[in-house]
Amino acid sequence: MKELNKNNKRFEDIKHIDENGVEFWYARELQIVLNYKEWRKFNGVIEKAKIACQNSGISTFEHFVGIDKMVQIGSGARRKQQDYKLTRYACYLIAQNGDSRKKVIALAQTYFAVQTRKQEISEKEYTSLTEDEKRFYQRDLTRKGNYSLNQTAKKAGVKNFDRFHNSGYKGLYNGETADDIAKRKGLRYREDILDNMGSEELAANLFRITQTESKLKKDNISSEKEANKAHYEVGAKIRNTIKELGGTMLEDLPTPKKSLKQLEKENKKSLQKK
């Protein structure tokens, strides 16, 4: 976890805030943090990220703002240097299209994915939320994410969605299916396992969901067998990353005492009394 926190700090350290209070990153600074020695190679990753952005129906001009800087090259001479002002989403897409063999790329994918989601909170900063509030927030994101993933999986040829989702769970939970997870948590029949996860466990599952959808699209997967395989592989890679970082395996995380449905009922009752 020290390595994860160290890299998160590095991503925060190179963050800039413009005159309107909007955060951004310079591509040249991100290049250094992501361990790319040559701008030529890193610029190739940026171009792939721009294509991914465009294919998602989002304007690249809003997220990748091209700028030219004047830099010193010795003897007092200066020349123009290409750079970009990047949004958090642009950084996320760059991490998605980076060299997956670099450990720092996996860390960047996690950081920018989670932070991009956290940005959606407008009324409260994520860090100020209680654990139960974080659970509700992450659960809402997983619900939306699963809906989007199902649409993409359907286009990829998936028909048996139970098998498809269990493939992801098996990769992430060392072979456990949704039913296995429910039994381990001591849940009643058909009780939602996601409603009985803490914020950390939900965040890991959200990452599995978003990364699987991205892989299905990026790899142009068009068969149920390949889609199931991709979901398993994504889950297994996330599990391996957690292990490498010294994190707690998801099956070892505590199950909250109350499900989100229980908390919802209690909240409704308290509101009715007021």
**What is the per-residue pLDDT for 81?**
86
* pLDDT at residue 7 is higher than 90: no
Residue 250 domain flag: yes
Residue 151 shares a structural domain with residue 245: yes
Residue 142 shares a structural domain with residue 66: no
* pLDDT at residue 256 is higher than 80: yes
Residue 81 shares a structural domain with residue 151: no
Give the residue with greater pLDDT, 108 vs 163: 163
Residue 139 shares a structural domain with residue 254: yes
**What is the per-residue pLDDT for 119?**
60
Residue 142 shares a structural domain with residue 88: no
Residue 186 shares a structural domain with residue 252: yes
> Poorest-confidence range of 7-11, 74-78, 151-155?
7-11
Kindly tell me the burial class for residue 263, based on how many C-beta atoms sit within 10 Å of its own C-beta (0-12, 13-18, 19 or more): middle
Please write down the HEC assignment for all residues of the chain: CHHHHHHHHHHHHCEEECCCCCEEEEHHHHHHHCCCCCHHHHHHHHHHHHHHHHHCCCCHHHHEEEEEEEEEEECCEEEEEEEEEECHHHHHHHHHCCCCCCHHHHHHHHHHHHHHHHCCCCCCCHHHCCHHHHHHHHHHHHHHHHHHHHHHHHHCCCCCHHHHHHHHHHHHCCCCCHHHHHHHHCCCCCCCCHHHCCHHHHHHHHHHHHHHHHHHHHCCCCCHHHHHHHHHHHHHHHHHHHHHCCCCCHHHCCCCCCCHHHHHHHHHHHHHHC
pTM for the whole structure: 0.59
Taking alpha carbons only, the member of 92, 12, 5 closest to residue 46 is: 92
Number of domains in the chain: 2
Distance of alpha carbon 271 from its chain centroid, rounded?
A: 34
Residue 76 shares a structural domain with residue 173: no
Residue 139 shares a structural domain with residue 231: yes
**What is the per-residue pLDDT for 269?**
66
Residue 205 domain flag: yes
**What is the per-residue pLDDT for 274?**
44
Mean per-residue pLDDT for 167-183?
97
Mean per-residue pLDDT for 14-35?
86
Residue 165 domain flag: yes
Mean per-residue pLDDT for 23-30?
92
Residue 7 domain flag: yes
Mean per-residue pLDDT for 131-139?
89
Residue 51 shares a structural domain with residue 156: no
**What is the per-residue pLDDT for 159?**
97
Domain boundary at 93, 122, 154, which?
Answer: 93
Residue 119 domain flag: no
**What is the per-residue pLDDT for 4?**
42
**What is the per-residue pLDDT for 117?**
61
Which pLDDT band holds residue 9 (cuts at 50, 70, 90)? Answer: low
**What is the per-residue pLDDT for 71?**
72
Kindly tell me the burial class for residue 196, based on how many C-beta atoms sit within 10 Å of its own C-beta (0-12, 13-18, 19 or more): buried
* pLDDT at residue 74 is higher than 80: no
Which pLDDT band holds residue 112 (cuts at 50, 70, 90)? Answer: confident
Q: Which amino acid is at 115?
A: Q
* pLDDT at residue 122 is higher than 90: no
* pLDDT at residue 1 is higher than 50: no
Q: How many angstroms separate the Cα of 142 from the Cα of each of 12, 64, 203? A: 25, 27, 8
Residue 98 domain flag: no
Domain that holds residue 139: 134-260
Counting other chains too, the contacts that 7-15 makes at CB distance below 8 Å and 24 or more residues apart are: 7/33, 7/104, 7/107, 7/108, 7/111, 8/107, 8/111, 11/91, 11/108, 11/111, 11/112
CA end-to-end span of the chain: 43
Domain boundary at 71, 93, 115, which?
Answer: 93
Residue 210 domain flag: yes
Residue 141 shares a structural domain with residue 256: yes
**What is the per-residue pLDDT for 78?**
76
Residue 256 shares a structural domain with residue 151: yes
Give the residue with greater pLDDT, 34 vs 19: 34
Residue 174 domain flag: yes
Residue 11 shares a structural domain with residue 65: yes
86: Cβ contacts below 8 Å, ≥ 6 apart: 24, 25, 26, 27, 30, 63, 64, 65, 94
